[in-house]
């Protein structure tokens, strides 16, 4: 049963990922990204990471993809991207050769070290009397409290940065920039 | 449970993400490919955490999700700014800082 769930979710993940990078229409790419994220959420559930599966769906599929779609709609859908033209000459054969080499190395590694086994039932992640959320929060708010607080500062900085970047400059500031360097705002 | 299978899946997902970052010219698509790469890292963290039988992998995956959210916010602001200045999100045209 585990194996079947893994295969189905893994195929959904990979097909979605391939769709993200190959779809010509950015809106289709965003919807394929949702498929990938749901596949990953299923993989999380299978490994007893129930809280993270919920976070994955809410934060990624809910917030991040909506933000992507919002920006795509705002910028207008461009479908004229040509995926068959290389920016560098000979890039594609070199990439295929190196990719095959890496695949070979990975397969060699897998053949020599095949690590499987039952997850430790005595471990904290799936103990019977504690739920996943309880275990996770216990280590998040004790041992990893400092990184947790640092994350909140990071989010604050990101919010301030996004607001400052997306804000339209005022008329006075524009005049200032024009005075300093007329080349910078020629596209306005 | 399986460890190697998850690692192989994550490696494939990461490689697809790298391809997207290198091949796509649309700035929004490049950010989406970066999300794919971050999710591959999350799969690895959760797989190792389940293999070791503790929740530490999940704690770090949570941090990765928070960082990814912050990254998308700032990245989108930058893409909007590029579009405002150039009327296009084609990253090949953004070469003002090329040496």
Q: Would you say residue B60 lies in a domain?
A: yes
Q: Would you say residue A65 lies in a domain?
A: yes
pLDDT of residue B1 exceeding 70: no
Regarding predicted confidence, which is higher, A20 or A121? Answer: A20
pTM of the predicted protein model? 0.85
Describe chain A by its helix, strand, coil percentages, rounded to 5.
75, 0, 25
pLDDT of residue A29 exceeding 50: yes
Number of structural domains (chain B) is 1
Task: Please tell me which of the candidates A114, A124, A162 has its beta carbon nearest to residue B4.
Answer: A114
Q: Would you say residue B49 lies in a domain?
A: yes
For residue A83, what pLDDT is reported? 67
Residue-wise pLDDT tens digits, A164-184: 988 877 777 777 777 766 655
Q: Would you say residue B33 lies in a domain?
A: yes
ipTM reported for the complex, 2 dp: 0.91
Extract the tokens encoding A26. 């950015």
**Cα–Cα distance measured from residue A128 to residue A119, given in angstroms and rounded to the nearest whole number:** 14
Range of the domain at A168: 134-181
A77, A101, A126 - which closes a domain = A77
Q: Would you say residue B73 lies in a domain?
A: yes
Extract the tokens encoding A106. 């990975």
For residue A184, what pLDDT is reported? 58
Q: Would you say residue B97 lies in a domain?
A: no
Extract the tokens encoding A168. 């339209």
The label of the residue with tokens 């934060």 reads A59
Q: Which residues 20-59 of A have a C-beta within 8 angstroms of B?
A: 20-21, 26, 29-30, 33, 36-37, 40, 43-44, 47-49, 51-52, 55-56, 59
For residue A183, what pLDDT is reported? 59
The CATH number given to whatever domain includes residue B58 is 1.10.287.3510
Number of structural domains (chain A) is 2
As a whole number of Å, the end-to-end CA separation of chain B is 51
Residue-wise pLDDT tens digits, B49-90: 888 878 888 999 999 999 999 999 999 999 988 888 888 888
Residue-wise pLDDT tens digits, A83-138: 666 667 788 888 889 989 998 998 888 877 666 655 544 444 455 677 888 888 88
- Residue B90's DSSP bridge partners are B26
pLDDT of residue B95 exceeding 90: no
The label of the residue with tokens 């769930």 reads A5
Task: Please tell me which of the candidates B3, B70, B85 has its beta carbon nearest to residue A154.
Answer: B70
Q: Would you say residue A125 lies in a domain?
A: no
């Amino acid at each position: 049963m585990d194996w079947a769930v893994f295969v189905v979710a893994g195929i959904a993940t990979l097909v979605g990922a391939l769709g993200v990078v190959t779809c010509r229409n950015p809106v289709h790419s965003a919807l394929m990204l949702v498929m990938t994220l749901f596949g990953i959420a299923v993989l999380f559930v299978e490994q007893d990471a129930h809280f993270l599966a919920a976070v994955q769906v809410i934060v990624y599929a809910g917030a991040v993809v909506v933000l992507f779609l919002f920006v795509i709609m705002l910028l207008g859908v461009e479908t004229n991207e040509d995926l068959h033209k290389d920016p560098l000459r000979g890039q594609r054969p070199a990439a295929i050769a190196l990719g095959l080499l890496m695949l070979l190395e990975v397969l060699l590694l897998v053949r020599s070290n095949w690590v499987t086994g039952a997850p430790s039932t005595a471990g904290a992640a799936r103990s019977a009397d504690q739920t996943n959320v309880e275990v996770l929060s216990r280590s998040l708010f004790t041992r990893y409290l400092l990184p947790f607080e640092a994350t909140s500062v990071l989010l604050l900085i990101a919010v301030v940065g996004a607001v400052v970047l997306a804000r339209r400059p005022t008329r006075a500031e524009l005049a200032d920039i024009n005075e300093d360097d007329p080349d910078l705002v020629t596209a306005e | 449970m399986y460890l190697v299978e998850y690692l192989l899946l994550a490696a494939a997902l990461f490689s697809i993400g790298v391809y997207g970052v290198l091949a796509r010219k649309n700035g929004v698509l490049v950010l989406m490919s970066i999300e794919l790469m971050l999710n591959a890292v999350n799969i690895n963290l959760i797989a190792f955490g389940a293999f070791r039988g503790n929740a530490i992998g999940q704690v770090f995956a949570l941090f990765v999700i928070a960082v990814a959210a912050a990254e998308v916010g700032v990245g989108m602001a930058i893409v909007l700014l590029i579009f405002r200045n150039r009327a296009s999100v084609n990253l090949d045209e953004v070469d003002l800082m090329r040496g």
